[in-house]
Structure 1
């Protein structure tokens, strides 16, 4: 066993195990952790002694709360870097997510507790995705002036109907049943049976069969009951059109959704809807490449540091968005936003 930059790396018989080990930070991903995960998985992909991989998080609170956004903000503000170190971190993270999506061996992700942002990237792209009674999955990027990444636009664009659009624009939190219904997970296994699950894999059990044997019924997914008004309202081509439909809908859930969208960064909402629509016809790699451009631009736009300040640092819940309203997100604003990607940023090679 080795503890390399916040990741416990070990082998148990034919199983390679990766445990994110920053429980005090909800196992948020740092550049060092991403580097370790990518390098280890690349090695195990070629190692005939490794039959399957299991990824989980240390501590009882979650698999992973996302990436180190404070580092990204600080690096974007550094006049010497202008976000290039952050872009390099994201490029490696997206290579990691692409590898997980195409991993040549069973990749078992134990999605217990909080699974957000980068935590979704290293789990929901896997081949065997296990949620629990404690799972809380979300892609809350628009609340901090950012756009869903780590292949999240691809995952959310391939949910049934417009469920993914709703999840992305409102930052909705999903439990186990809803994560499964949205295609972001496969089966629910009680958290107190995960050691039994791993023991069965170490004994040589087929991952899918082991998980099926331990799985329980997740129960109804409340989000599916709202599918009618969600599909109708989110079918609009623009964020203002979606908001208008939600506000005209008599369903209480629609009004709550409109309120949530109204609190998010207007430009991030517009760019998110644009990315979701494009990802429907894209491969995972194509979506990641598009997200890389958008992420680099987000890091250099005022909304991202302001969102991190308001929600994660000062926690006053009062971000000052730029522009402050959807009506002010013009084509010229979008062009200026997209001009924030620098030719000198590290290349993304998937």
Structure 2
């Protein structure tokens, strides 16, 4: 058994055949930073070749959630200073996301409580994804002038119909039933039984533990609304999506239109383009490469700094987007977000496993 790593931000331990990762920033709902990403990657690399490790488990400290996403305040300050730190953070984070998706052993993610953005990246690409009645999962990027990343556009583009487009543009939160229906999770276990489930992983196989504790998932509210969602979000532009939502005569659709209009017009337009491109991509790695281009471009956009300022720095909740309307976002401006980065490309090839990282 390896000695426990008691780093305050992420706890790494190995015992009873289980490699355990505990995100350990409970006051920040376990928001990810670069150090945490590199420590997780190192542990996964070590365990991949260790026959004593039969499975990996990732959980979050505290009772609020697995992970609230990346440390966006750090990204805010870095973007104002040139963005090189965030770029390298994303590089390592996206490589980690791909590694998780192709991990050679069961990778069990307990997605209890809040799981947002980067938290989705370290959980929803795993092979065994557990949700509870407390789960609140989402990709909130367009609300801060950013675009879904960490392989999020890959997952969203593969949700039934246009549910992923709705989730991305409105930043809708997914409960347990929605998460399973949309392909972000696999199994429902009541939160009161998570402790027993984790304990069982030390003595029985992952399959046996899942079989013992899984219960029927709640119904998906989003699936029940696919009629108006598919009709509206199948449009070719965000402007047309909003028009269809407003004209549909469905109260939920009208509410969704207002939510989209409150987000960054540029981020929403780039997000729609990203989702359409991800839908036809051949692999997660291909999507992550493109997400990296988009994320790096966002560092140079006014809306990312402004969105984080309004939501979490000044907290006035009144972002001044530039441009301010969807009609003012040009095709040329959108195209710039997908420009290849030359020597800075992420460069992942499919599939990514331990030892294949760039």
Shorter-chain TM range is over 0.9
- Taking the aligned partners of 2:8 and 2:63, their CA distance within structure 1 comes to 20
Deviations 1:3-36 (A, max 9, x none): 2351111112100000000000000001000000
Ranges in structure 2 where 5+ consecutive residues have no aligned partner: 349-356
Q: Cα distance 1:10–1:168, how it changes in 2: closer, same or farther (>3 A)?
A: same
Residue in 1 that maps onto 2:188: 188
| Counterpart residue number, 1:84 | 84
CA distance in 2, matches of 1:288, 1:338: 12
Structure 1 residue 228 and structure 2 residue 231: aligned? no
Is 1:7 matched with 2:10?
yes
Change over 3 Å in CA distance of 1:37–1:5 after alignment to 2: farther
For the Cα contact (< 8 Å) 1:120–1:152, is it kept in 2? yes
Equivalences for residues 1-350 of structure 1 within 5 A: 1-4=4-7, 6-78=9-81, 82-203=82-203, 205-282=204-281, 283-337=283-337, 343=342, 345=344, 347-349=346-348, 350=357
* Deviation for aligned residue 1:76: 1.9
TM-superposed deviation, 1:84: 1.4
TM-score (norm 1): 0.95
Q: TM-score, normalised by structure 2?
A: 0.93
Q: Structure 1 pair 86/346, CA: closer, same or farther in 2 (3 Å)? A: farther
Which stretch has the larger CA shift, 51-60 or 242-251? 242-251
Per-residue deviation, 1:337: 4.8
Deviations 1:136-157 (A, max 9, x none): 0010100000000000000000
Contact kept? 2:270, 2:337, Cα under 8 Å:
no
Q: Aligned equivalents of 1:334 and 1:18: distance in 2?
A: 38
* 1:5 to 1:42, Cα distance in 2 relative to 1, 3 A: farther
Query: 1:11, 1:99 → 2: CA distance?
Result: 19
Deviations 1:56-96 (A, max 9, x none): 00000000000011212211221xxx211211110000000
What is the number of equivalent residue pairs in this alignment? 345
Shift of 1:212: 2.5
Q: RMSD value over aligned CA atoms?
A: 1.4
